[in-house]
Amino acid sequence: MKFSLNKLYTVAEVTKQGFRQYRERQLLFDANIQVLLSEVDLLREEHPGCGLEKMYDTLKPGFIGRDRFIELFMDLGYRVRRYKNYHRTTYSTNRYYPNLIKGYTVNAPSTIWQSDITYIRLGEKFYYAVFILDVYTRKIVGHKVSGHMRATANVAALKMAFKENEPPLIHHSDRGSQYVYEEYLSMLTEQKCQISMGLTAQDNAYAERINQTIKDEYLRHWKPSTFEQLTSDVNRAVNHYNTKRIHKNLNKMTPLKFEEKWSTYNIENRPVLRIFNNIIQSQNGQH
């Protein structure tokens, strides 16, 4: 046997020492993968819909590259299923405000907030959630879960947002009737917020994306079955999103961490966000 192994080393053009070192590296890699599996499972428990690229950026495993990590964990069944929203939550009104944010350049928190309403189905019953998002920091500043689509839920979310954050320069939403409710408008004007509304989902893209993130990455996995559980799970999802979920566009920081870090940047080094302008994009596409 000793002779045959030596012959094998010769045929394979490796030394006995080289083979032993390779085997030790492989054993170490396998051991690291076992530890990493536990970390991935723990991360998925807290963020059930977290994608593999975001997992890699969060865990930062030094012994494996990103592409190999994604390939390995896709093979292990860690692919995330995506869902589509099909239930209508917006009923437009004849009263609306112009879109003030197309092409707007943002480089500070509380410049633009976006808000939207989404449905959440539990069995045969529909509930609704309002989210208000700071577009620059991606932080959810206010939210409210209710069993109806009345504007009082939006008012409650806005009160929460004002309680913990500086009022924005611009509040942006779709043309839903909830956003022209007198008390809601009064709260905005009292804080000297400009009111902006979009016509399409693309005009309110940041808020729309939050709806899907909370539902697809958290609630669909936690599976609340009662209104009380739903309310608790939404609170937990918002906390996880704000304090633990990193964003590539925030230099791989969480919204809360980015907000804290922002004040330390020199003015010329502050990240800049430009709001999408579909009019300019369509004009450019014609040339």
pLDDT tens for 188-222 read 999 999 999 998 778 889 998 999 999 999 999 99
As a whole number of angstroms, the distance between CA 230 and CA 214 comes to 12
Longest C-alpha distance within the chain, in Å? 90
Query: How far is C-alpha 138 from the geometric centre of its chain's CA atoms?
Result: 8
Helices 16-46 and 52-59 cross at an angle (nearest 10°) of 110
As a whole number of angstroms, the distance between CA 180 and CA 186 comes to 10
Instruction: Specify which residues 171 forms β-bridges with.
Output: 113, 195
Determine the pLDDT at residue 93. 56
Quick one: average pLDDT of 36-63?
Answer: 75
**Total-model pTM:** 0.69
Tokens of 82: 């995506």
Determine the pLDDT at residue 80. 62
Pairing between strand 170-173 and 194-197?
A: parallel
User: What are the CB-based long-range contacts (under 8 Å, 24+) for 143-149?
Assistant: 143/234, 143/238, 145/120, 145/227, 145/230, 145/231, 145/234, 147/227, 149/89, 149/91, 149/117, 149/178
More confident residue, 34 or 94: 34
Determine the pLDDT at residue 282. 38
Determine the pLDDT at residue 87. 46
89 pLDDT band, cuts 50/70/90, is very low
Q: What residues contact residue 97 under an 8 Å CB cut-off, 6+ apart? A: 195, 196, 197
pLDDT tens for 139-169 read 999 999 999 888 999 999 999 999 999 999 9
Torsion angle defined by CA atoms of residues 101, 102, 108 and 112, in that order, rounded to the nearest 10 degrees: 30
Sheet order of strands, 112-122 included = 140-146, 125-134, 112-122, 170-173, 194-197
Determine the pLDDT at residue 138. 97
As a whole number of angstroms, the distance between CA 188 and CA 132 comes to 13
Determine the pLDDT at residue 76. 67
